[in-house]
Amino acid sequence: MSGRSTRDSRREERLQAESEGDREERRKRLLQIGSAAVFLAIVAVAVLIVVSQSQTSGGDTELEDTGLVSRQLNGIPQNGMVLGDPRAKVTLIEFGDLQCPVCKGFSEEIVPDVIDSKVRSGEAKIEFRNYTIISQESIPAGAAAIAAGEQGRGWSFVELFYRNQGPEASGYVTDAFLTEIARGAGVRDIARWNSDRKSDKVLQEVRDTTAEAQQLGLTGTPSFAVQGAGTSGLETLGTPGSAEALEEAIEGAG
Amino acid sequence: MIATFVATFGIGIATYIAIADSGGGSPVCLAGGSGCQTVANSSYSHLLGVDVAVFGIAGYVLLLAAALLRGDAARMAGFGLALAGFGFSVYLTYLELFKIEAICQWCVASAVLMTILFGVNAIRMVGYVGRPA
């Protein structure tokens, strides 16, 4: 209260010292500057919002389940296309095609349980390898996932792609769609991601893992394999129908 | 006095978010929530490659300077900055609720501080300019 009264008395003194005309002019000037401040503030916020929106919307569609995917993978390390503690003794490998609807079903119904029970605890890590069998569009899609993996967002990209998957070979895998998925997955350096996903190294990796899946005799996607101290190299599992089957395979490989 | 305290507190919060994020991690939510990581990992957390929290630090520093300085320019600048900060905080809160679908307690704390600063700066300006001649 004493602070306020001191301020009031100062203001009174100042106001008394000023002539009536000066005060009126001063008030007008302050209102003008105040209006300018409000205008500038609104412009600043508008610019920030436009920049924020323009860098987030890669296309004209809205991504589904961005928050859900983020929550599902929250707190789990991602390195390249591997999800989970790099020191985990068992590796579960998913050979998948991002355009494959059965893979999408696995991603939504089965893999989350395995992530929660085995990957989050550090018992196993899970790796995504491209097995492109649907159409040519699966190749740039897989390369985009690997490029996201270069920035620690490989699994976020794969999961978000599955959640927003379109009909097989319908032409929806455009640059705009892939960019939107990358942004939604949290890929920060989009220019680097763009350059990586078109590089020979990344495209070759898509071809190599596809050839590997064929050599292993895998006939469809998703196909799983497991590797650990209890296996001799990569042990194929085919397409187990439940999370429990995958969990048992992980336990057997440890 | 209030503005000085709140702006200083805001610098602290924004700096914590920026440091936590720059280390490749994210701010730690109290009570074990995961909202902070979800928000920090979202593509909305950066503007032109710069962490949004860095904009927050800059805003709070300028608001602190405006609170400490006397004169008409400081009053107007303080009001304009607080209005911009408040408007941007409203937008960020909208993103958290409806786009990212996660709430980060540190971001909410910052939004509350920015709202207080907007109120204080508005009173500071209106109380002065609005006084009848």
| More reliable by pLDDT, A145 or B97 | A145
Domain containing B49 — which CATH number? Answer: 1.20.1440.130
Looking at A19-28, B77-86, B93-102, which range is the least confident one?
A19-28
User: Given this model, what pLDDT does residue A83 score?
Assistant: 94
- Nearest chain B CA: its distance from A148 CA (Å): 13
B25 touches chain A (CB under 8 A): no
| More reliable by pLDDT, B13 or A25 | B13
A114 — phi, psi (to 5°)? -70, -40
Q: What is the pTM of this model?
A: 0.62
Mean pLDDT of B114-128: 88
Q: A145-167: string of b/e by CB count within 10 Å (b at 16+)?
A: bbbbbbbbbbbbbbbbbbbbbee
Give the residue numbers spanning the domain of A245: 66-253
Pair (A103, A195) in one structural domain: yes
**Residue A125 β-bridge partners:** A91
Give whole-number Cα distances, B31 to B28, B35, B104, in Å.
9, 11, 12
> pLDDT (tens digit, 9 = 90+) per residue, B20-44?
877 656 677 765 566 787 787 776 7
Give the residue numbers spanning the domain of B51: 2-129
User: Given this model, what pLDDT does residue B33 score?
Assistant: 63
Low-confidence ranges of chain A (pLDDT < 50): 1, 57-61
* Within a domain: A222: yes
Cis peptide bond N-terminal to A222, omega within 30: yes
User: Given this model, what pLDDT does residue B124 score?
Assistant: 86
Pair (A52, A73) in one structural domain: no
Candidates A56, A65, A68, A151: best to mutate against B (most CBs of B within 10 A) is A56
User: Given this model, what pLDDT does residue B70 score?
Assistant: 85
User: Given this model, what pLDDT does residue A19 score?
Assistant: 65
Is A209 in contact with A90 (CB distance < 8 Å)?
Answer: no
Return the residue of B nearest to A179 by Cα: B43
Pair (A11, A99) in one structural domain: no
SS3 A216: coil
Return the residue of B nearest to A52 by Cα: B47
Pair (A233, A153) in one structural domain: yes
Question: Does the beta-carbon distance from B72 to A33 stay under 8 Å?
Answer: yes
User: Given this model, what pLDDT does residue A59 score?
Assistant: 39
Taking 80 as the threshold, does the pLDDT of residue B99 lie above it?
no
How far is the first Cα of chain B from the last one, in angstroms, to the nearest whole number? 27
| More reliable by pLDDT, A19 or B105 | B105
User: Given this model, what pLDDT does residue B133 score?
Assistant: 40
